Chain A
Amino acid sequence: MKYVDEFRDPELISKAAEEIRRLADTGRHYRIMEVCGGHTHAIYRFGLKDILPSNIELIHGPGCPVCVLPMGRIDDGLSVARDPGVIFTAFGDMMRVPGASGSPLEHKARGTDVRIVYSPADALQLARKNPERHVMFFAIGFETTAPSTALTLIRARAEGVKNFSVFCNHVTIVPAIRAILDSPDMRLDAFIGPGHVSTVIGCRPYEWIARNEGKPVVTSGFEPLDLLQSIVMLLHQLRAGEARVENQYRRVVPWEGNRAALKAMAEVFELRPYFEWRGLGFISQSALKLRDEYAEWDAERRFPIPGARITDPKAAQCGEVLKGVLKPAQCKLFGRECTPEHPIGALMVSTEGSCAAHYHYEHRKNLVSVA
């Protein structure tokens, strides 16, 4: 398969791994954060830890949109869908995320009309086909998915589709990275920069990380060779004592980003003054809401929203894991009370969450047969 097989070539991968071992100073421990949940998933899925030397530690960052969504938002969204006239739509990733009153799937089993869509455009199509119902799209994601929500809203407004709205939970990646860097218990050497987000925002928004914080950033693709090559590029910078933003994922990421996507976002969204992130708390200017021109399609303005604030169960240490302070298996609930089937924390739900990835791909590797 083109664009996949060449990035999983065993020979090239072993060469890159050799290069990493050559560049990594054996007397030094490297802490590299991959910001993006897609990278976390790829690292586990391809078993890259088995290939990397032990002094290169990959810290899983906050870039999983499902994971950073506070529980109360899910309850707020589902409260709208209690009206039998409403169809609740969301991406499949959201379906098993627990709110205080259960996950969207549990609500579906209790009779709420919950449907999985693959794109916000599908939700709009559902609204056109069901003029007597109201279709609400529960939007999540970073700048990766925000443009498709924006384009859908632009279309809904142009067509005058009145029975459609968006419950907007879109967040932006840069304030989250800032929050991580501001966290006193966090020591990092470098960043593997987000891939999909960067296709939209480009590489410039990370320049302050290199300039002000002195940490190298390499925007990376999602195949094993992409990730290893990004680590090679980071090690070159670290060896030379440099800190720059580099783009490993040039086949997809333009340095200046995608202007058309950014324009659509700017037309539809504005920054919220502040927004709560699960595990990271309130971060100012970190999330998007619909502009006044789109108020008619804004579920938060169209429906009464309880504004639920639900704190995570005390024993769950999602915040520490999300910030990379704890490894997934170091959380007290990991693999016991909290599993992908019965997730307590959101990191266990999404395939991009570091706990779910660890549980699925790593957790039982070392069990020995007693038979």
Chain B
Amino acid sequence: MRSTLPLRAPEEPRLRSLNGAAASAVRFRDARIEMAHGAGGKASRRLVEGLFAPLLFANSAQPLNDAAVLSFDSVTLAITTDSFVVRPLQFPGGSIGELAVNGTLNDLAVSGARAHAMTATFVLEEGLATAVLEAEVRAMANALQDAGVALVAGDTKVVERGKADGMYITTTGIGRPLPGIVVDARSVRPGDKVILSGPIGDHGITILLARGDLDLEADLASDTRSVLPMIEAMAVQAAPGIRWMRDPTRGGVATSLNELARDCGLGVVMSEDAIPIRDEVRGACELLGLDPLHIANEGQFLAVVAPEYATAALNALELTEGGEDAVIIGEMCPEPACAVLVTTRYGGSRIVDMLVGDPLPRIC
């Protein structure tokens, strides 16, 4: 979950609402910040909705999206920001630098926008080897070049040894909306199809194994990548049918879909067999008692598409590099309201809740 708001009413002066913030009700009652507050699940949502939104956001009644869309005179821009604190810094399939670029590109992409420029802030730990830093800066440069995005501003801070696990990176991305796409949970209708771009859980399980705390090995790599090419391809064929998108990072597919269900008041009904999961991920989850639906992804997205556009959207994804495994995993239903239900091939069903607690801290 991100903490940016879609500001579709720029005529509302932002300063005034900030001045009025003292009157807003703060409902966050947890006495201290715990790791779970950063895990992207229920506790994160409580923190954002209970403390940040009422004091900082102009219109906290709106659903929280991955990016905000702002209009200045006749120009519409999308903006998002994200911090990266992954441990270890490098892992099979990617590293913090590449993640810091693609994560922000993806937040814009699933908000229906193409990134144009980015800023970066580095918090570096005293003693960090220059070679390590340079490798990450190169990874960022490559990802920026692949995406055709310019880095236009930055900042560097250094903190004492032991304070930042090598480095933290924050990126902010600014972009233009893709023509014809409006991403809004409130436009979702019963019968809409839920599309998933590919197999889930690769990133979270890769990080878990890369930490080496478990004596488990698997031939698995993070799925970290830009999802923009897939979304652009889908938009060409099905833009008017796209109602909602999200990249299921922390908290996984279950958390993203629960947020959708809550924001639109409908239920998401998924077929368990339809959800693509690699055997390595399934195996690790079975062993560790984790639900793959709660495991983070960095290169997948979910889209809700009107039924008449679903086939076109899916075909477009399947023809795009990296979208070959895209699949319809379920549909929107009036019941169960505000919840996600998974059905099995043998006739059982279960509710899938948002992530509670934090099975795996610091994955992005």
Which A residues fall within an 8 A CB radius of B? 1, 4, 8, 10, 13-14, 17, 44-51, 92, 95-96, 105-106, 108-110, 118, 122, 224, 340-341, 351, 359-371
Contacts and interface: CB of A to CB of B under 8 A. Distances in A.
B25 interface: no
B267 A10 contact: no
19 contacts: A1-B282, A8-B346, A10-B345, A17-B347, A46-B350, A47-B344, A48-B348, A92-B359, A95-B357, A105-B35, A105-B357, A106-B31, A106-B32, A108-B34, A340-B356, A365-B349, A369-B266, A371-B264, A371-B266
Given A46-B344, A51-B348, A224-B346, A364 B339 contact: yes
Contact of A368 (B286, B337, B347): B337
Contacts of A362: 350-351
Contact of A367 (B283, B339, B343, B353): B339
Which 8 A-B pairs give the minimum distances between C-beta atoms?
Answer: A47-B348, A371-B265, A369-B337, A13-B346, A361-B350, A10-B345, A369-B334, A109-B32
A364 B349 contact: no
Interface string B201-237: 0000000000001100000000000000000000000
B32 A110 contact: yes
Contacts of A341: 42-43, 356-357
Interface in B75-120: none
A48 B349 CA distance: 8
A364 B356 CA distance: 16
B279 A1 contact: yes
B33 A14 contact: no
A106 B34 contact: yes
A106 B35 CA distance: 10
A12 B343 CA distance: 17
B336 interface: yes
Interface in B298-351: 334-339, 341, 343-351
A363 B352 CA distance: 10
Contact of A118 (B32, B214, B335): B214
A179 B78 CA distance: 63
A339 B248 CA distance: 24
A122 B347 contact: no
A298 to B, nearest CB: 27
A105 B334 CA distance: 38
A102 to B, nearest CB: 9
A105 B36 contact: yes
Contacts of B286: 1, 4
B289 interface: yes
Nearest to A356: B356
Contact of A47 (B350, B357, B359): B350
Contact of B350 (A1, A44, A122): A44
Contact of B353 (A108, A360, A366, A371): A360
Given A340-B353, A369-B267, 20 more contacts: A8-B346, A14-B347, A45-B350, A47-B343, A47-B344, A47-B347, A47-B350, A48-B348, A50-B348, A106-B32, A108-B35, A109-B33, A118-B214, A341-B43, A359-B353, A360-B353, A367-B337, A369-B265, A369-B266, A369-B334
Chain B interface, DSSP helix/strand/loop, else mixed:
loop
A341 B42 CA distance: 8
B211 to A, nearest CB: 11
B35 A118 contact: no
B337 to A, nearest CB: 4
Residue in A96, A340, A367 with the greatest tally of chain B CB atoms within 10 Å: A367
A205 B286 CA distance: 28
Contacts of A363: 351
B351 A364 contact: yes
Given A1-B282, A365-B341, A109 B34 contact: yes
Contacts of B42: 341
A51 B347 contact: yes
Contacts of B356: 340-341
A360 B348 CA distance: 15
A44 B344 CA distance: 12
A224 B272 CA distance: 14
Contacts of A95: 357
Contacts of A369: 190, 265-267, 334-335, 337-338
A91 B289 CA distance: 12
A122 B352 CA distance: 31
A51 B346 CA distance: 8
Contacts of B338: 364, 367, 369
A367 B346 contact: no
Given A95-B357, A361-B350, A362-B350, A368 B213 contact: no
Nearest to A222: B286
Residue in B264, B265, B345 with the greatest tally of chain A CB atoms within 10 Å: B345
Contacts of A92: 359
Nearest to A38: B289
A107 to B, nearest CB: 10
Interface string B177-211: 00000000000001000000000000000000000
Contacts of B33: 109
Nearest to B36: A105
A333 to B, nearest CB: 17
A96 B36 CA distance: 11
Given A10-B345, A108-B34, A364-B336, A122 B351 contact: no
A50 B267 contact: no
A10 B344 CA distance: 9
B37 to A, nearest CB: 9
A36 to B, nearest CB: 14
A109 B361 CA distance: 14
B337 A370 contact: yes
A49 B350 CA distance: 10
Contact of A122 (B43, B213, B341, B349): B213
Contact of B289 (A50, A224, A351): A351
A4 B346 CA distance: 14
A249 B353 CA distance: 30
Contacts of A105: 34-36, 357
Contact of B349 (A17, A47, A106, A118): A47
A149 B352 CA distance: 33
Contacts of B213: 118, 122
Contacts of A109: 32-34
Nearest to B214: A118
A239 to B, nearest CB: 24
Interface string B36-74: 100000110000000000000000000000000000000
Contacts of A46: 344, 348, 350
A105 B213 CA distance: 19
Contacts of A361: 350-352
